[in-house]
Structure 1
Amino acid sequence: MPATPLLELRGIDKSFGPVQVLRDVALSVHPGEVTALVGDNGAGKSTLVKCISGIHPTDAGEFLFEGRPVNINSPRDAAGLGIEVVYQDLALCDNLDIVQNMFLGREKRSGIVLDEPTMEQMATETLAGLGVRTVTLRQHVSSLSGGQRQTVAIAKAVLWNSRLVILDEPTAALGLAQTAQVLELVRRLADNGLAVVLISHNMNDVFAISDRIAALYLGQLVAQVRTTDITHSQVVELITAGRSGDLGLRPEAAGDDPGDGGELADSIRGALR
């Protein structure tokens, strides 16, 4: 595994007016690994992703890509580095088929007409490389299941020589079989050498496929550890209280009454059982 992260964030701050959403965030993402980004609602996960993808400018901090400082001031800058995001709404058009969705806005042309054979070949090779065999190229997205739609969205993201794929809750609202299908695909992305950031509230999914877990608490990245070095309970405590034993914030910096966080952590642990 390369010692240098593909993407490294240092000291990222982001505020919206008087509200500071991200505070001194440091995150590293390695190729060939799935990094799970976890945190409660409002912890700053979506804002952090939008900063990485160039939608929101940062107030402070720096981005390093393969060890080199880079500027990400727009989605075009992010795409130029090979950063693709699959948002929860998937951004697919129901009235178009799979090939048309995968090339939407980036169509290949031969003169003044669309180069359909090239697009079909590229789509076929991408889906085959991901081990996807449950769809046909000219199926309309409206006819696909939730898991198949997620598969198409992921294939669309990796079609363009992407290096880092960020997935926002890819298994939300999916059944067990479809969830297993999508998680297998996510794991295959990392096994093919891509860096993957997985945003999920499902701790079972996180522990099933991630190599590292990064926990956000009230806009601060309080821990980033290997998945094998942490337990479900510790992750829940980091999410709800900002610390767990020696991990996370110091007691005086963890914020609210520890009893409140402990009760919330206990209730979440009970729901996970």
Structure 2
Amino acid sequence: MDGHEFLAERFEENRSRLKAVAYRMLGSTSEAEDAVQEAWIRLGRCDDRAIENLGGWLTTVVGRVCLDMLRSRRSRREEPLGTGAPEETAPGPELGGRPEADPEQQALMADSVGLAMLVVLETLDPAERLAFVLHDMFAVPFDEIAGVVDRTPAAARQLASRARRRVQGADPVADPDLARKREVVNAFLAAARDGEFEALLTVLDPDVVVRSDIGAGGAGAGAPELVRGAAAVARQAMMFAPFARSSRRALVGGEPAVIATGEGHRFSVMIFTVARDRIVEMSVIRDPSHLPGLDLAVLDD
């Protein structure tokens, strides 16, 4: 076995971990594969004999590549969570990978990070996302993370801490008013899930308004959608029962919200305004480009 084959073999030993890191950073399997491939290219350009810890070196390189991709994506306002499931890309034969994709491995990777988590990660600053993913999910020391984000270890720790608070959410029990609002939202979701029209009317204000950032025709379909009145909103809620069945509770700016998913990994973030034990307004976000900067956190149900 020559030096190139030996290096390729060692790289393949790290491939699954590298792609898992990149997937959590980018939320796209094809982009994750691109990041891993770039790490292989950079490895081929350096003196691998000077690398003491290949796994750590590769993780750092993948982190830097993903950070650059996230910053570039944000500057172009492009997000990968639009429509359809992430595409899969098979490992290239030049790395010793099999020519066909491994559906079981891809499915396991996708299942390990729920869409709700990916939606929250999309709201984080790229540096916060990297610090949280590398430290909390892959136990990379802050000394190493600091070099990736060009900050001190203490600053890297603060990045991860801020991200952790966003991801974990707040304790709703400490706020009785918020707890009551969540009860109203839960009643709405239960009624929508079971198709109970009259039960929906009991938790909706007669003049309730639903605002969606994308019209009924989808992205680019025109002006935002607006629905008024309890009866109209209840009828619409019954049409989207599958989303209610797969929803995750969340907070947005301290208000109750849900992240709902449907077939093909489509998603929506629904924010509820509750007053006098009735839902008076709902804001529905379906466009992933509206996620950055959103103060969103998933709650443990």
TM-score when scaled to structure 1? 0.28
Higher helix share: 2
Q: Using CA pairs below 8 Å that are at least 6 residues apart, which structure has the higher relative contact order?
A: 1
Higher strand share: 1
